Amino acid sequence: MKTALVSLIAGLLFGAGLALGGMTDPGKVIAFLDVAGQWDPSLGFVMGSALLITFPVFAWVRRAGKPLLAERFQLPTRKDLDPQLLIGAALFGIGWGIAGLCPGPAIANLAAGSPQILLFVAAMVGGMWLRDRTASLL
């Protein structure tokens, strides 16, 4: 129960941060990515702030013995770049550039009830389902 409550609070804090930072506004994201046109650099400050928090926390995690609510930290162990990772990253970036949304902000935007957001999330879930069904083919 405690883990679920902490997860809920972390998710709400993450969603609020996305909304406050403007990451849930597809127009703002597309303007950030439009470096040759009407470029809006403000999301760069949001991403830079995230990195300023992430780097020291990752350093702390590597030194810490274990987290408060789990037996161990769940850190990635793979260091190679395989074709699936590169293709997935490229598709993610293309989708982000076209729609102005990625999964976190899209889920945070569900509360608005916008038909475009609902369609985006349905397509995202469908893509995840399709990937799971075809993973063995790759």
pTM of the model as a whole: 0.72
Q: Are 126 and 112 in contact (CB under 8 A)?
A: no
**Cα gap 79→74, rounded to integer Å:** 15
Cβ distance 89 to 70 under 8 Å?
Answer: no
79-93 confidence digits (pLDDT tens)? 899 988 898 899 888
The predicted-structure confidence for 35-79, as pLDDT tens digits, reads as follows 898 899 998 998 899 899 999 998 988 888 888 888 888 888 888
Burial of 79 (0-12, 13-18, 19+ CB in 10 A): exposed
